[in-house]
Chain A
Amino acid sequence: MLSAEDWSAIRLTLLLATVSTLILLVLGTPLAWWLAHTRSRLRGAIHALIALPLVLPPTVLGFYLLVALGPHGWIGGLMQRLGLSLLPFSFAGLVVASVLYSLPFVVQPLQNTFGALDGKLLEAAATLHASPQDRFWHIIVPLSRAGFLTAAVLGFAHTLGEFGVVLMIGGNIPGQTRVVSVQIYNHVEAMEYAQAHWLAGAMLVFSFLVLLALYARPHAGALFAQGAARHD
Protein backbone atom coordinates (compact mmCIF):
# COMPACT_ATOMS: atom_id res chain seq x y z
CA MET A 1 0.00 0.00 0.00
CA LEU A 2 0.97 3.67 -0.05
CA SER A 3 3.61 4.79 2.42
CA ALA A 4 3.71 8.07 4.28
CA GLU A 5 6.23 9.32 1.75
CA ASP A 6 3.88 8.39 -1.08
CA TRP A 7 1.04 10.33 0.53
CA SER A 8 3.33 13.29 1.00
CA ALA A 9 4.18 13.16 -2.71
CA ILE A 10 0.49 12.96 -3.62
CA ARG A 11 -0.37 15.98 -1.44
CA LEU A 12 2.50 17.94 -2.92
CA THR A 13 1.49 17.04 -6.47
CA LEU A 14 -2.12 18.10 -5.96
CA LEU A 15 -1.00 21.35 -4.32
CA LEU A 16 1.41 22.06 -7.16
CA ALA A 17 -1.22 21.35 -9.81
CA THR A 18 -3.83 23.51 -8.05
CA VAL A 19 -1.55 26.49 -7.48
CA SER A 20 -0.14 26.26 -11.01
CA THR A 21 -3.61 26.04 -12.56
CA LEU A 22 -4.84 29.12 -10.72
CA ILE A 23 -1.78 31.11 -11.77
CA LEU A 24 -2.12 29.79 -15.33
CA LEU A 25 -5.74 30.96 -15.56
CA VAL A 26 -4.80 34.43 -14.32
CA LEU A 27 -1.85 34.75 -16.71
CA GLY A 28 -3.33 32.77 -19.59
CA THR A 29 -6.59 34.74 -19.86
CA PRO A 30 -5.13 38.13 -20.88
CA LEU A 31 -2.50 36.39 -22.99
CA ALA A 32 -5.09 34.30 -24.83
CA TRP A 33 -7.32 37.38 -25.31
CA TRP A 34 -4.39 39.29 -26.77
CA LEU A 35 -3.46 36.41 -29.09
CA ALA A 36 -7.07 36.04 -30.23
CA HIS A 37 -7.51 39.72 -31.08
CA THR A 38 -4.18 41.40 -31.75
CA ARG A 39 -3.03 42.42 -35.19
CA SER A 40 0.50 42.93 -33.89
CA ARG A 41 3.38 41.50 -35.90
CA LEU A 42 4.69 39.97 -32.68
CA ARG A 43 1.68 37.68 -32.48
CA GLY A 44 3.28 34.81 -34.40
CA ALA A 45 6.49 34.91 -32.39
CA ILE A 46 4.69 35.05 -29.02
CA HIS A 47 2.38 32.24 -30.08
CA ALA A 48 5.34 30.06 -31.08
CA LEU A 49 7.15 30.85 -27.82
CA ILE A 50 4.15 29.80 -25.74
CA ALA A 51 3.77 26.61 -27.77
CA LEU A 52 7.43 25.59 -27.34
CA PRO A 53 6.80 23.30 -24.33
CA LEU A 54 4.57 21.21 -26.61
CA VAL A 55 7.58 20.10 -28.66
CA LEU A 56 10.68 20.64 -26.49
CA PRO A 57 12.02 17.86 -24.26
CA PRO A 58 11.12 18.95 -20.70
CA THR A 59 14.78 18.67 -19.80
CA VAL A 60 15.61 21.52 -22.18
CA LEU A 61 13.08 23.85 -20.52
CA GLY A 62 14.25 22.63 -17.11
CA PHE A 63 17.88 23.19 -17.98
CA TYR A 64 17.37 26.79 -19.10
CA LEU A 65 15.23 27.51 -16.06
CA LEU A 66 17.90 26.08 -13.80
CA VAL A 67 20.52 28.27 -15.43
CA ALA A 68 18.38 31.43 -15.38
CA LEU A 69 17.06 30.96 -11.86
CA GLY A 70 20.33 29.73 -10.36
CA PRO A 71 22.77 31.99 -8.44
CA HIS A 72 24.67 32.87 -11.61
CA GLY A 73 21.62 33.32 -13.83
CA TRP A 74 20.21 36.79 -14.51
CA ILE A 75 16.96 36.16 -12.66
CA GLY A 76 18.64 34.26 -9.83
CA GLY A 77 21.32 36.91 -9.47
CA LEU A 78 18.70 39.64 -9.32
CA MET A 79 16.72 37.74 -6.70
CA GLN A 80 19.84 37.29 -4.58
CA ARG A 81 20.58 40.99 -4.72
CA LEU A 82 17.00 41.67 -3.62
CA GLY A 83 17.53 39.34 -0.69
CA LEU A 84 15.12 36.68 -1.98
CA SER A 85 15.86 32.99 -1.70
CA LEU A 86 16.67 31.15 -4.91
CA LEU A 87 13.93 29.29 -6.72
CA PRO A 88 15.65 26.05 -7.84
CA PHE A 89 15.04 23.11 -5.52
CA SER A 90 12.06 24.82 -3.90
CA PHE A 91 8.30 24.49 -4.24
CA ALA A 92 8.08 28.02 -5.64
CA GLY A 93 10.58 27.03 -8.31
CA LEU A 94 8.39 24.07 -9.24
CA VAL A 95 5.40 26.38 -9.58
CA VAL A 96 7.30 28.71 -11.92
CA ALA A 97 8.46 25.77 -14.03
CA SER A 98 4.98 24.19 -14.13
CA VAL A 99 3.37 27.43 -15.21
CA LEU A 100 5.72 27.77 -18.17
CA TYR A 101 5.51 24.08 -18.99
CA SER A 102 1.68 23.97 -19.00
CA LEU A 103 1.06 27.42 -20.48
CA PRO A 104 0.13 26.21 -24.00
CA PHE A 105 -2.45 23.81 -22.56
CA VAL A 106 -4.25 26.73 -20.93
CA VAL A 107 -3.72 29.43 -23.54
CA GLN A 108 -4.76 27.35 -26.54
CA PRO A 109 -8.33 26.48 -25.47
CA LEU A 110 -8.88 29.99 -24.11
CA GLN A 111 -7.63 31.52 -27.34
CA ASN A 112 -10.01 29.30 -29.36
CA THR A 113 -12.91 30.29 -27.14
CA PHE A 114 -12.16 34.00 -27.22
CA GLY A 115 -11.65 33.89 -30.99
CA ALA A 116 -15.09 32.35 -31.44
CA LEU A 117 -16.77 34.78 -29.03
CA ASP A 118 -19.20 37.10 -30.80
CA GLY A 119 -17.74 40.60 -30.48
CA LYS A 120 -21.15 42.03 -31.35
CA LEU A 121 -22.43 40.93 -27.96
CA LEU A 122 -19.66 42.91 -26.27
CA GLU A 123 -20.64 45.98 -28.28
CA ALA A 124 -24.24 45.49 -27.23
CA ALA A 125 -23.13 45.22 -23.60
CA ALA A 126 -21.11 48.44 -23.97
CA THR A 127 -24.18 50.30 -25.26
CA LEU A 128 -26.02 48.95 -22.19
CA HIS A 129 -23.47 50.77 -20.02
CA ALA A 130 -21.35 47.76 -19.05
CA SER A 131 -17.73 48.77 -18.40
CA PRO A 132 -14.89 46.66 -19.85
CA GLN A 133 -14.44 44.86 -16.52
CA ASP A 134 -18.19 44.30 -16.23
CA ARG A 135 -18.24 42.90 -19.77
CA PHE A 136 -15.42 40.51 -18.90
CA TRP A 137 -17.13 39.03 -15.84
CA HIS A 138 -20.69 39.02 -17.11
CA ILE A 139 -20.41 38.34 -20.84
CA ILE A 140 -16.98 36.93 -21.68
CA VAL A 141 -16.55 34.58 -18.71
CA PRO A 142 -20.02 32.97 -18.80
CA LEU A 143 -19.92 32.61 -22.60
CA SER A 144 -16.41 31.10 -22.37
CA ARG A 145 -17.24 28.66 -19.58
CA ALA A 146 -16.42 25.64 -21.74
CA GLY A 147 -13.06 27.14 -22.72
CA PHE A 148 -12.15 27.95 -19.12
CA LEU A 149 -13.12 24.45 -18.01
CA THR A 150 -11.01 22.86 -20.75
CA ALA A 151 -8.07 25.14 -19.97
CA ALA A 152 -8.23 24.44 -16.23
CA VAL A 153 -8.53 20.66 -16.64
CA LEU A 154 -5.77 20.41 -19.22
CA GLY A 155 -3.47 22.69 -17.24
CA PHE A 156 -4.15 20.72 -14.05
CA ALA A 157 -3.74 17.29 -15.68
CA HIS A 158 -0.62 18.31 -17.54
CA THR A 159 1.00 19.63 -14.36
CA LEU A 160 0.20 16.34 -12.61
CA GLY A 161 2.12 14.52 -15.28
CA GLU A 162 5.32 16.54 -15.45
CA PHE A 163 8.59 14.81 -14.63
CA GLY A 164 11.55 16.06 -16.59
CA VAL A 165 11.20 19.73 -15.66
CA VAL A 166 10.63 18.82 -12.02
CA LEU A 167 13.75 16.70 -11.89
CA MET A 168 15.88 19.43 -13.47
CA ILE A 169 14.64 22.37 -11.41
CA GLY A 170 13.21 20.73 -8.28
CA GLY A 171 15.36 17.77 -7.61
CA ASN A 172 14.00 15.18 -5.27
CA ILE A 173 13.45 16.77 -1.86
CA PRO A 174 10.79 14.97 0.22
CA GLY A 175 7.88 17.20 1.15
CA GLN A 176 9.19 20.08 -0.94
CA THR A 177 9.76 19.02 -4.50
CA ARG A 178 9.23 15.28 -4.56
CA VAL A 179 6.03 14.92 -6.57
CA VAL A 180 4.31 11.64 -7.55
CA SER A 181 6.08 11.21 -10.87
CA VAL A 182 9.47 11.55 -9.15
CA GLN A 183 8.39 9.24 -6.32
CA ILE A 184 7.45 6.56 -8.86
CA TYR A 185 10.90 6.94 -10.41
CA ASN A 186 12.45 6.52 -6.95
CA HIS A 187 10.46 3.34 -6.33
CA VAL A 188 11.51 1.87 -9.65
CA GLU A 189 15.15 2.79 -9.05
CA ALA A 190 14.94 1.01 -5.68
CA MET A 191 13.24 -2.01 -7.32
CA GLU A 192 10.07 -1.38 -5.24
CA TYR A 193 7.76 -2.43 -8.04
CA ALA A 194 4.73 -3.02 -5.80
CA GLN A 195 4.92 0.54 -4.48
CA ALA A 196 5.46 1.87 -7.98
CA HIS A 197 2.36 -0.04 -9.13
CA TRP A 198 0.17 1.53 -6.48
CA LEU A 199 1.27 5.07 -7.24
CA ALA A 200 1.35 4.67 -11.02
CA GLY A 201 -2.06 3.01 -10.97
CA ALA A 202 -3.52 5.76 -8.81
CA MET A 203 -2.09 8.39 -11.14
CA LEU A 204 -3.48 6.62 -14.19
CA VAL A 205 -6.98 6.33 -12.79
CA PHE A 206 -7.02 9.88 -11.46
CA SER A 207 -5.81 11.41 -14.72
CA PHE A 208 -8.35 9.38 -16.66
CA LEU A 209 -11.17 10.56 -14.40
CA VAL A 210 -10.10 14.18 -14.74
CA LEU A 211 -10.08 13.95 -18.54
CA LEU A 212 -13.32 11.98 -18.50
CA ALA A 213 -14.96 14.83 -16.60
CA LEU A 214 -13.89 17.11 -19.42
CA TYR A 215 -14.72 15.01 -22.45
CA ALA A 216 -17.86 13.25 -21.22
CA ARG A 217 -19.81 16.51 -21.22
CA PRO A 218 -22.29 16.98 -24.07
CA HIS A 219 -20.80 19.18 -26.83
CA ALA A 220 -17.29 18.37 -25.65
CA GLY A 221 -14.71 19.15 -28.27
CA ALA A 222 -16.68 22.02 -29.70
CA LEU A 223 -15.33 24.67 -27.39
CA PHE A 224 -17.95 27.24 -28.22
CA ALA A 225 -21.06 25.17 -28.80
CA GLN A 226 -24.29 27.04 -28.18
CA GLY A 227 -25.28 24.45 -25.61
CA ALA A 228 -22.16 25.00 -23.60
CA ALA A 229 -22.91 28.71 -23.34
CA ARG A 230 -26.41 28.26 -21.94
CA HIS A 231 -27.54 28.03 -18.37
CA ASP A 232 -28.99 24.53 -18.65
Chain B
Amino acid sequence: MTDATAATAALTLDVRLARADFALEIALALPAHGITAICGASGAGKTTLLRLIAGLESGAQGRIEFAGQCWQDSARAQFLPAHRRPIGYVFQEPRLFPHLTVRQNIDFARHRALDAAARRADPAPVLQLLGIEHLLERAPHTLSGGEQSRVAIARALAGAPRLLLMDEPLAALDAARRAEILPWLERLCAQSRIPILYVSHAHDEVARLADTIVLLERGKLRAHGAAQDMLARLDLSTARGADAGVFIPAVLVEHDAADCLSRFSFAGGELFVPLAAPPAKAHQRIRIAARDVSLALERPQHSSIANQIACTVTELAEADSPAHVLVRLDAGGTPLLARITRRAARTLALRPGLAVWAQVKAVALLD
Protein backbone atom coordinates (compact mmCIF):
# COMPACT_ATOMS: atom_id res chain seq x y z
CA MET B 1 0.00 0.00 0.00
CA THR B 2 1.25 3.45 -0.82
CA ASP B 3 1.32 6.43 1.51
CA ALA B 4 -1.26 8.15 -0.66
CA THR B 5 -3.87 5.41 -0.22
CA ALA B 6 -3.04 5.03 3.47
CA ALA B 7 -3.64 8.73 4.07
CA THR B 8 -7.20 8.65 2.72
CA ALA B 9 -7.91 5.16 4.00
CA ALA B 10 -10.46 4.47 6.70
CA LEU B 11 -9.24 1.01 7.48
CA THR B 12 -5.68 -0.22 7.27
CA LEU B 13 -4.83 -3.73 8.20
CA ASP B 14 -1.86 -6.01 8.11
CA VAL B 15 -2.89 -9.31 9.63
CA ARG B 16 -1.83 -12.92 9.77
CA LEU B 17 -3.83 -15.79 11.14
CA ALA B 18 -2.62 -19.39 11.17
CA ARG B 19 -5.02 -22.25 11.65
CA ALA B 20 -4.48 -25.97 11.30
CA ASP B 21 -6.11 -26.08 7.87
CA PHE B 22 -5.97 -22.45 6.82
CA ALA B 23 -3.65 -19.46 6.83
CA LEU B 24 -4.57 -15.87 6.17
CA GLU B 25 -2.09 -13.11 5.43
CA ILE B 26 -3.43 -9.82 4.20
CA ALA B 27 -2.18 -6.23 4.10
CA LEU B 28 -4.71 -3.76 2.82
CA ALA B 29 -5.89 -0.15 3.02
CA LEU B 30 -9.55 0.48 2.32
CA PRO B 31 -11.20 3.77 1.41
CA ALA B 32 -13.25 5.84 3.83
CA HIS B 33 -16.19 5.95 1.45
CA GLY B 34 -18.26 3.63 -0.63
CA ILE B 35 -18.77 -0.06 -0.82
CA THR B 36 -15.86 -2.45 -0.96
CA ALA B 37 -16.78 -5.91 -2.16
CA ILE B 38 -14.65 -8.74 -0.81
CA CYS B 39 -14.69 -11.51 -3.41
CA GLY B 40 -13.10 -14.88 -3.82
CA ALA B 41 -13.92 -18.56 -3.98
CA SER B 42 -15.23 -20.26 -0.86
CA GLY B 43 -12.36 -20.91 1.50
CA ALA B 44 -10.49 -17.82 0.29
CA GLY B 45 -10.85 -16.24 3.75
CA LYS B 46 -13.55 -13.64 3.09
CA THR B 47 -15.56 -14.34 6.24
CA THR B 48 -12.42 -14.78 8.34
CA LEU B 49 -11.17 -11.37 7.20
CA LEU B 50 -14.46 -9.75 8.19
CA ARG B 51 -14.46 -11.51 11.57
CA LEU B 52 -10.88 -10.36 12.16
CA ILE B 53 -11.87 -6.77 11.50
CA ALA B 54 -14.85 -7.15 13.86
CA GLY B 55 -12.65 -8.56 16.63
CA LEU B 56 -14.46 -11.90 16.60
CA GLU B 57 -11.32 -13.93 15.83
CA SER B 58 -8.72 -14.24 18.50
CA GLY B 59 -5.16 -15.29 17.87
CA ALA B 60 -4.46 -13.06 14.88
CA GLN B 61 -1.07 -11.41 14.52
CA GLY B 62 -0.58 -7.92 13.13
CA ARG B 63 -2.33 -4.57 13.20
CA ILE B 64 -5.77 -3.20 12.44
CA GLU B 65 -6.36 0.53 12.47
CA PHE B 66 -9.53 2.45 11.74
CA ALA B 67 -9.68 6.23 11.28
CA GLY B 68 -6.52 6.70 13.29
CA GLN B 69 -7.70 4.46 16.12
CA CYS B 70 -5.75 1.28 16.83
CA TRP B 71 -8.11 -1.69 17.08
CA GLN B 72 -5.43 -4.25 17.59
CA ASP B 73 -1.69 -4.52 17.49
CA SER B 74 -0.17 -7.83 18.46
CA ALA B 75 3.29 -6.25 18.73
CA ARG B 76 2.01 -4.04 21.56
CA ALA B 77 -0.42 -6.68 22.91
CA GLN B 78 -3.37 -4.39 22.16
CA PHE B 79 -6.78 -5.77 21.36
CA LEU B 80 -9.99 -3.75 21.37
CA PRO B 81 -12.78 -6.26 22.07
CA ALA B 82 -15.56 -6.58 19.51
CA HIS B 83 -18.13 -4.72 21.59
CA ARG B 84 -15.95 -1.62 21.72
CA ARG B 85 -15.29 -1.40 17.97
CA PRO B 86 -17.62 1.07 16.21
CA ILE B 87 -18.81 -1.51 13.71
CA GLY B 88 -22.05 -3.00 12.55
CA TYR B 89 -22.05 -6.61 11.41
CA VAL B 90 -24.63 -8.31 9.22
CA PHE B 91 -24.05 -12.04 9.37
CA GLN B 92 -24.95 -14.66 6.77
CA GLU B 93 -27.92 -15.60 8.96
CA PRO B 94 -30.09 -12.87 10.49
CA ARG B 95 -29.18 -13.83 14.10
CA LEU B 96 -32.15 -11.95 15.52
CA PHE B 97 -32.64 -12.36 19.27
CA PRO B 98 -35.56 -14.81 19.58
CA HIS B 99 -36.73 -13.50 22.96
CA LEU B 100 -37.15 -9.95 21.65
CA THR B 101 -39.61 -8.44 19.20
CA VAL B 102 -38.39 -6.67 16.08
CA ARG B 103 -38.66 -3.31 17.86
CA GLN B 104 -36.74 -4.66 20.87
CA ASN B 105 -34.07 -6.08 18.57
CA ILE B 106 -33.63 -2.65 16.97
CA ASP B 107 -33.65 -0.91 20.35
CA PHE B 108 -31.11 -3.37 21.72
CA ALA B 109 -28.69 -2.02 19.13
CA ARG B 110 -29.77 1.63 19.41
CA HIS B 111 -29.40 1.78 23.20
CA ARG B 112 -25.89 0.40 22.94
CA ALA B 113 -24.59 2.66 20.18
CA LEU B 114 -21.09 3.84 21.08
CA ASP B 115 -22.01 7.34 19.97
CA ALA B 116 -24.16 8.90 22.72
CA ALA B 117 -26.15 11.06 20.29
CA ALA B 118 -27.09 8.00 18.25
CA ARG B 119 -28.62 6.40 21.35
CA ARG B 120 -31.24 9.12 21.43
CA ALA B 121 -31.69 9.22 17.66
CA ASP B 122 -35.04 8.52 16.07
CA PRO B 123 -34.92 5.02 14.56
CA ALA B 124 -37.66 5.87 12.04
CA PRO B 125 -35.37 6.66 9.07
CA VAL B 126 -33.61 3.30 9.37
CA LEU B 127 -36.93 1.45 9.70
CA GLN B 128 -38.24 3.28 6.67
CA LEU B 129 -35.08 2.70 4.67
CA LEU B 130 -35.52 -1.05 5.06
CA GLY B 131 -39.31 -1.05 4.98
CA ILE B 132 -39.89 -2.75 8.32
CA GLU B 133 -42.11 -0.20 10.11
CA HIS B 134 -45.06 -2.59 9.95
CA LEU B 135 -43.12 -5.49 11.49
CA LEU B 136 -42.08 -3.85 14.77
CA GLU B 137 -44.30 -5.79 17.16
CA ARG B 138 -43.67 -9.16 15.52
CA ALA B 139 -41.50 -11.93 16.95
CA PRO B 140 -38.52 -12.79 14.72
CA HIS B 141 -39.65 -16.36 14.02
CA THR B 142 -42.91 -15.11 12.50
CA LEU B 143 -41.05 -13.16 9.79
CA SER B 144 -40.16 -14.41 6.32
CA GLY B 145 -36.50 -14.93 5.46
CA GLY B 146 -36.32 -11.67 3.53
CA GLU B 147 -37.97 -9.73 6.33
CA GLN B 148 -35.57 -11.22 8.87
CA SER B 149 -32.62 -10.15 6.72
CA ARG B 150 -33.97 -6.62 6.48
CA VAL B 151 -34.46 -6.44 10.25
CA ALA B 152 -30.91 -7.71 10.77
CA ILE B 153 -29.56 -4.96 8.50
CA ALA B 154 -31.70 -2.33 10.25
CA ARG B 155 -30.47 -3.58 13.62
CA ALA B 156 -26.84 -3.28 12.55
CA LEU B 157 -27.50 0.28 11.35
CA ALA B 158 -29.35 1.21 14.56
CA GLY B 159 -26.08 0.65 16.42
CA ALA B 160 -24.73 3.72 14.57
CA PRO B 161 -21.65 1.97 13.17
CA ARG B 162 -18.81 3.90 11.56
CA LEU B 163 -17.95 0.83 9.50
CA LEU B 164 -20.52 -1.67 8.27
CA LEU B 165 -19.45 -5.26 7.71
CA MET B 166 -21.80 -7.40 5.66
CA ASP B 167 -21.09 -11.09 5.21
CA GLU B 168 -23.17 -12.33 2.29
CA PRO B 169 -26.35 -10.91 3.80
CA LEU B 170 -28.36 -12.49 0.99
CA ALA B 171 -26.70 -15.91 1.01
CA ALA B 172 -29.42 -17.60 3.03
CA LEU B 173 -32.15 -16.41 0.67
CA ASP B 174 -33.56 -17.94 -2.50
CA ALA B 175 -33.51 -16.03 -5.77
CA ALA B 176 -36.93 -14.48 -5.25
CA ARG B 177 -36.05 -13.21 -1.78
CA ARG B 178 -32.71 -11.88 -3.03
CA ALA B 179 -34.50 -9.95 -5.74
CA GLU B 180 -36.83 -8.61 -3.06
CA ILE B 181 -34.08 -7.34 -0.80
CA LEU B 182 -31.47 -6.11 -3.32
CA PRO B 183 -33.28 -2.81 -3.94
CA TRP B 184 -33.26 -2.13 -0.18
CA LEU B 185 -29.54 -2.85 -0.10
CA GLU B 186 -28.92 -0.57 -3.04
CA ARG B 187 -30.79 2.23 -1.36
CA LEU B 188 -28.81 1.63 1.81
CA CYS B 189 -25.51 1.70 -0.06
CA ALA B 190 -26.49 4.84 -1.96
CA GLN B 191 -27.61 6.73 1.14
CA SER B 192 -25.02 5.47 3.56
CA ARG B 193 -22.18 7.80 4.41
CA ILE B 194 -20.20 5.09 6.17
CA PRO B 195 -17.84 2.71 4.43
CA ILE B 196 -19.25 -0.77 3.84
CA LEU B 197 -17.31 -4.00 3.46
CA TYR B 198 -19.48 -6.45 1.59
CA VAL B 199 -18.54 -10.10 1.26
CA SER B 200 -20.11 -11.76 -1.75
CA HIS B 201 -19.43 -14.23 -4.45
CA ALA B 202 -22.48 -13.29 -6.46
CA HIS B 203 -21.31 -11.41 -9.54
CA ASP B 204 -24.56 -9.49 -9.96
CA GLU B 205 -24.47 -8.17 -6.40
CA VAL B 206 -20.88 -7.06 -6.76
CA ALA B 207 -21.51 -5.34 -10.09
CA ARG B 208 -24.55 -3.57 -8.70
CA LEU B 209 -23.14 -2.43 -5.39
CA ALA B 210 -19.36 -2.25 -5.35
CA ASP B 211 -17.11 0.76 -5.82
CA THR B 212 -13.96 -1.13 -4.91
CA ILE B 213 -13.26 -4.84 -5.20
CA VAL B 214 -10.86 -6.83 -3.06
CA LEU B 215 -10.15 -10.27 -4.45
CA LEU B 216 -8.86 -12.94 -2.08
CA GLU B 217 -7.32 -16.24 -3.05
CA ARG B 218 -6.48 -18.94 -0.50
CA GLY B 219 -6.07 -16.49 2.35
CA LYS B 220 -4.00 -13.99 0.38
CA LEU B 221 -4.77 -10.70 -1.36
CA ARG B 222 -4.91 -11.47 -5.10
CA ALA B 223 -5.77 -7.97 -6.32
CA HIS B 224 -7.76 -4.92 -5.40
CA GLY B 225 -8.87 -1.79 -7.19
CA ALA B 226 -11.80 0.15 -8.61
CA ALA B 227 -14.71 -2.18 -9.35
CA GLN B 228 -15.03 -1.10 -12.98
CA ASP B 229 -11.42 -2.03 -13.71
CA MET B 230 -11.39 -5.17 -11.60
CA LEU B 231 -14.43 -6.62 -13.35
CA ALA B 232 -12.74 -6.18 -16.74
CA ARG B 233 -9.39 -7.69 -15.77
CA LEU B 234 -9.02 -10.95 -17.65
CA ASP B 235 -6.32 -12.24 -15.31
CA LEU B 236 -8.76 -12.32 -12.38
CA SER B 237 -11.51 -14.75 -11.55
CA THR B 238 -13.93 -11.82 -11.13
CA ALA B 239 -13.98 -11.54 -14.92
CA ARG B 240 -14.43 -15.23 -15.60
CA GLY B 241 -17.51 -17.39 -15.46
CA ALA B 242 -20.69 -17.33 -17.47
CA ASP B 243 -21.86 -14.11 -15.78
CA ALA B 244 -18.70 -12.13 -16.58
CA GLY B 245 -19.40 -8.57 -17.51
CA VAL B 246 -18.66 -4.94 -16.82
CA PHE B 247 -20.60 -1.93 -15.72
CA ILE B 248 -20.26 1.49 -17.25
CA PRO B 249 -20.98 4.74 -15.44
CA ALA B 250 -23.15 6.73 -17.85
CA VAL B 251 -25.21 9.91 -17.92
CA LEU B 252 -28.74 10.24 -19.26
CA VAL B 253 -28.91 12.44 -22.36
CA GLU B 254 -32.57 12.12 -23.33
CA HIS B 255 -35.55 9.85 -22.98
CA ASP B 256 -37.76 9.01 -25.93
CA ALA B 257 -41.18 8.44 -24.41
CA ALA B 258 -42.71 7.17 -27.65
CA ASP B 259 -40.16 4.40 -28.11
CA CYS B 260 -39.51 3.98 -24.36
CA LEU B 261 -35.81 4.33 -25.01
CA SER B 262 -33.30 6.31 -22.94
CA ARG B 263 -30.08 7.55 -24.50
CA PHE B 264 -27.01 7.59 -22.24
CA SER B 265 -23.54 8.86 -22.96
CA PHE B 266 -20.31 7.47 -21.54
CA ALA B 267 -16.62 7.98 -22.16
CA GLY B 268 -16.59 5.61 -25.15
CA GLY B 269 -19.81 6.58 -26.90
CA GLU B 270 -23.55 6.25 -26.38
CA LEU B 271 -25.90 3.53 -25.19
CA PHE B 272 -29.66 3.10 -25.69
CA VAL B 273 -31.48 1.48 -22.79
CA PRO B 274 -35.12 0.38 -23.08
CA LEU B 275 -36.95 1.99 -20.18
CA ALA B 276 -40.68 2.43 -19.62
CA ALA B 277 -40.05 5.78 -17.91
CA PRO B 278 -37.01 8.03 -17.64
CA PRO B 279 -34.79 7.03 -14.69
CA ALA B 280 -34.96 9.06 -11.48
CA LYS B 281 -31.27 9.91 -11.51
CA ALA B 282 -29.22 11.07 -14.49
CA HIS B 283 -26.11 9.17 -13.35
CA GLN B 284 -26.53 5.44 -13.74
CA ARG B 285 -24.52 2.25 -13.82
CA ILE B 286 -25.20 0.27 -16.96
CA ARG B 287 -24.33 -3.39 -16.88
CA ILE B 288 -23.15 -5.15 -20.00
CA ALA B 289 -22.68 -8.88 -19.72
CA ALA B 290 -19.83 -10.34 -21.76
CA ARG B 291 -22.15 -12.91 -23.35
CA ASP B 292 -24.39 -10.13 -24.68
CA VAL B 293 -21.57 -8.52 -26.69
CA SER B 294 -20.79 -9.68 -30.25
CA LEU B 295 -18.01 -8.34 -32.47
CA ALA B 296 -17.79 -7.26 -36.10
CA LEU B 297 -14.86 -5.91 -38.11
CA GLU B 298 -17.00 -3.29 -39.83
CA ARG B 299 -19.88 -1.23 -38.55
CA PRO B 300 -22.92 -3.48 -39.03
CA GLN B 301 -25.49 -1.99 -41.41
CA HIS B 302 -29.23 -2.60 -41.20
CA SER B 303 -28.93 -4.25 -37.81
CA SER B 304 -31.72 -4.49 -35.27
CA ILE B 305 -29.16 -3.92 -32.53
CA ALA B 306 -29.11 -0.25 -31.56
CA ASN B 307 -26.01 -0.30 -29.41
CA GLN B 308 -22.89 -0.35 -31.57
CA ILE B 309 -19.66 0.82 -30.05
CA ALA B 310 -16.32 1.36 -31.75
CA CYS B 311 -13.58 -0.37 -29.75
CA THR B 312 -10.06 -1.67 -29.87
CA VAL B 313 -9.17 -5.21 -28.87
CA THR B 314 -6.76 -5.11 -25.94
CA GLU B 315 -6.53 -8.70 -24.75
CA LEU B 316 -7.85 -12.22 -25.32
CA ALA B 317 -8.19 -14.88 -22.64
CA GLU B 318 -9.72 -18.26 -21.90
CA ALA B 319 -13.39 -18.16 -20.96
CA ASP B 320 -15.32 -20.49 -18.66
CA SER B 321 -16.04 -22.93 -21.50
CA PRO B 322 -13.53 -24.40 -23.97
CA ALA B 323 -15.68 -23.28 -26.91
CA HIS B 324 -15.44 -19.61 -25.95
CA VAL B 325 -12.88 -16.87 -25.45
CA LEU B 326 -13.13 -13.62 -23.53
CA VAL B 327 -12.11 -10.48 -25.38
CA ARG B 328 -11.24 -7.33 -23.51
CA LEU B 329 -12.06 -4.17 -25.43
CA ASP B 330 -11.30 -0.54 -24.97
CA ALA B 331 -14.01 1.94 -25.90
CA GLY B 332 -12.50 5.40 -25.47
CA GLY B 333 -10.95 4.40 -22.15
CA THR B 334 -13.94 2.39 -20.92
CA PRO B 335 -13.24 -1.34 -20.61
CA LEU B 336 -15.74 -3.80 -22.13
CA LEU B 337 -15.79 -7.59 -22.22
CA ALA B 338 -17.08 -9.81 -25.03
CA ARG B 339 -17.57 -13.56 -24.73
CA ILE B 340 -17.48 -15.04 -28.24
CA THR B 341 -16.79 -18.47 -29.71
CA ARG B 342 -13.24 -19.58 -30.28
CA ARG B 343 -14.06 -20.12 -33.96
CA ALA B 344 -15.36 -16.57 -34.36
CA ALA B 345 -12.20 -15.18 -32.78
CA ARG B 346 -10.13 -17.15 -35.30
CA THR B 347 -12.31 -16.20 -38.29
CA LEU B 348 -12.10 -12.50 -37.38
CA ALA B 349 -8.36 -12.90 -36.67
CA LEU B 350 -8.79 -10.99 -33.43
CA ARG B 351 -5.56 -9.67 -31.95
CA PRO B 352 -4.65 -6.84 -29.58
CA GLY B 353 -4.75 -3.50 -31.38
CA LEU B 354 -7.42 -4.50 -33.91
CA ALA B 355 -10.28 -2.02 -34.32
CA VAL B 356 -13.71 -3.68 -34.08
CA TRP B 357 -17.37 -2.82 -33.56
CA ALA B 358 -19.04 -4.21 -30.46
CA GLN B 359 -22.76 -4.93 -30.76
CA VAL B 360 -24.50 -5.02 -27.41
CA LYS B 361 -27.62 -7.16 -27.42
CA ALA B 362 -28.82 -6.27 -23.95
CA VAL B 363 -28.10 -3.57 -21.45
CA ALA B 364 -29.54 -3.08 -18.01
CA LEU B 365 -29.52 -0.27 -15.50
CA LEU B 366 -28.00 -1.28 -12.19
CA ASP B 367 -28.99 1.54 -9.87
Contacts and interface: CB of A to CB of B under 8 A. Distances in A.
B95 A120 contact: yes
A230 B139 contact: yes
A134 B112 CA distance: 10
Given A127-B82, A128-B112, A129-B84, A229 B159 contact: no
A227 to B, nearest CB: 10
A143 B108 CA distance: 15
A127 B88 contact: yes
Q: A interface, how many residues as a size bin?
A: 20 to 34
A23 interface: no
Nearest to B112: A129
A200 to B, nearest CB: 41
A226 B98 contact: yes
B87 interface: yes
B82 A126 contact: yes
Contacts of B141: 226
A3 interface: no
A209 to B, nearest CB: 28
Interface string A100-129: 000000000000000000001101111111
Interface in A118-150: 120-121, 123-132, 134, 138-139, 142-143
Contacts of A231: 99-101
Contacts of B155: 128
Contact of B83 (A121, A129, A142, A143): A129
A131 B98 contact: no
Given A126-B56, A129-B113, A230-B139, A139 B91 contact: no
B97 A121 contact: yes
Contacts of A129: 83-84, 109, 112-114, 159
Interface in B144-200: 155-156, 159, 165
B90 to A, nearest CB: 9
B95 A131 contact: no
A123 B58 CA distance: 13
B89 interface: yes
A229 B83 CA distance: 24
Nearest to B115: A129
A139 B89 CA distance: 17
A131 B113 CA distance: 12
Contacts of B320: none
A30 B108 CA distance: 24
Residue from B55, B98, B139, B156 whose CB has the most chain A CB atoms within 10 Å:
B98
Nearest to A143: B99
A132 B82 CA distance: 10
A124 B89 contact: yes
Given A120-B93, A127-B56, A128-B159, 8 more contacts: A121-B97, A121-B98, A127-B87, A127-B88, A127-B165, A134-B83, A143-B97, A230-B99
Interface of B: 54-56, 81-84, 87-89, 91, 93, 95, 97-101, 108-109, 112-114, 139, 141, 155-156, 159, 165
22 contacts: A120-B95, A121-B95, A123-B56, A123-B91, A124-B91, A125-B97, A126-B82, A126-B83, A127-B87, A127-B89, A127-B156, A127-B165, A128-B83, A128-B108, A128-B112, A129-B159, A130-B83, A139-B97, A143-B99, A226-B141, A230-B99, A231-B101
